Amino acid sequence: MRIVIATDAWKPQVNGVVRSLSETVNRMKRRGYSVEMITPDLFSTIPCPGYSEIRLALLPRMKARRLLHQFRPDIVHIATEGPIGWATRGWCLAHGVPFTTAFHTRFPDYASVRTGLSPDRFWPIMRRFHAKSRAVMCATPTLMNELAERGITQTRLWSRGVDLDLFRPDRAPHPALANLPRPILLCVGRVAVEKNLESFLSAPMVGSKVIVGDGPMLEELKQRYPDATFLGALHGPELASAYAASDLFVFPSKTDTFGLVIIEALASGLPVAAYPVPGPIDILGPLVHMTDGVPADPIGVLDDNLTQAVVRAEGIDRTHCTRIGRRYSWDACVDQFVDILIDSTAPRRLAA
């Protein structure tokens, strides 16, 4: 089976979409699958408005068509709704090649935050983009239900994983955090308006607030919140050491579809404080992890008051967090992804 994955989000961007795709592609290739990528680095690019570090392919249609003709895919996975995604979608429809899509990012919510318009104004674009997809991959059941209410019904579950060799509680702690007052409250992610970091940075909390990540609001937040520690973007062992040095993970975003950093934190032994919204609910909710019908020991706290969530989460046994975090395997995620692709290549049955 020849597979093409088309995405507008790719290295050197640092986000959950890129990490998910790179892990999936690397593991598929090790299993012997033929996978070709169509990514922004193959095109002339322009900076994304509001995100100058993100480069968008400029007029990718013709080159994308040539690449797709060259690769001759049996199935195409379109990861994003950007210029490359739309160009690839058009080629698949024109040539009768089946394709799947993914709903990684709450684009209507992000656009609403930046424009002040209602998210409802942007949902018709999402419905059109995903309408002909054989399967729309979603990270959580909550997101699948939400998309169904929005008219996107052909959803399939594609969960996320964590590098269990990298993220673990016995890592040496990051030296930059060694002398900070306890508890150390860590937040990892893009430093951008949609991540709602100000609700964390402005909230009254005991201890030290640490932000790991880069983005368009970094310098502004550094000036406005001088008592917080900003480490910038960290990767690999250095990122794992920041988790290991901390006492609690805080996830203030209300727009993420999953929150890959949440399971990295859990695998590192950190309880999580978050808002009760999709993503955190699907990972931390009391009914998510059951044993014989009984909820597992708590691994985080969901509360509309983020300060109260932090206070209540501080007493959670960290061994519970590690045990749940280690359930998230990238190999299991790749199994899901491949199964969906195989199902999506099967001929469609005509309705009676």
CA distance 272 to 250: 6
Report pLDDT for 50.
67
- Region 157-161: mean pLDDT is 94
Q: How many domains does the chain have?
A: 2
- Region 212-220: mean pLDDT is 94
Give the residue with greater pLDDT, 49 vs 76: 76
Residue 167 lies in a domain: no
189/107 same-domain check = no
Residue 303 lies in a domain: yes
**Which residues lie below 8 Å from residue 94, measured CB to CB, with a gap of 6+?**
none
Q: pTM to 2 decimals? A: 0.86
150/218 same-domain check = no
| pLDDT, tens only, 141-155 | 889 999 999 999 999
Residue 181 lies in a domain: yes
Report pLDDT for 289.
60
* Residue 82 pLDDT > 60: yes
Three-class secondary structure of residue 275 per DSSP:
coil
The chain-wide mean pLDDT, for the chain, equals: 92
Q: Which domain holds residue 154?
A: 2-161+331-345
74/205 same-domain check = no
Q: pLDDT confidence of 351, banded at 50, 70, 90?
A: very low
336/307 same-domain check = no
- Beta-bridge partners for 250: 273
CATH number of the domain encompassing residue 239: 3.40.50.2000
154/30 same-domain check = yes
Q: pLDDT confidence of 286, banded at 50, 70, 90?
A: low
Residue 338 lies in a domain: yes
Q: pLDDT confidence of 111, banded at 50, 70, 90?
A: confident
Q: pLDDT confidence of 293, banded at 50, 70, 90?
A: low
6/80 same-domain check = yes
18/131 same-domain check = yes
63/188 same-domain check = no
Report pLDDT for 288.
60
User: What is the number of residues in the chain?
Assistant: 352
Q: pLDDT confidence of 117, banded at 50, 70, 90?
A: confident
- Region 186-214: mean pLDDT is 96
Residue 215 lies in a domain: yes
* Across 45-59, 125-139, 257-271, least confident range: 45-59
- Region 236-241: mean pLDDT is 97
Residue whose tokens read 């379109």: 78
Cα 81 to Cα 127, 206, 259: the distances in Å are: 11, 41, 19
149/193 same-domain check = no
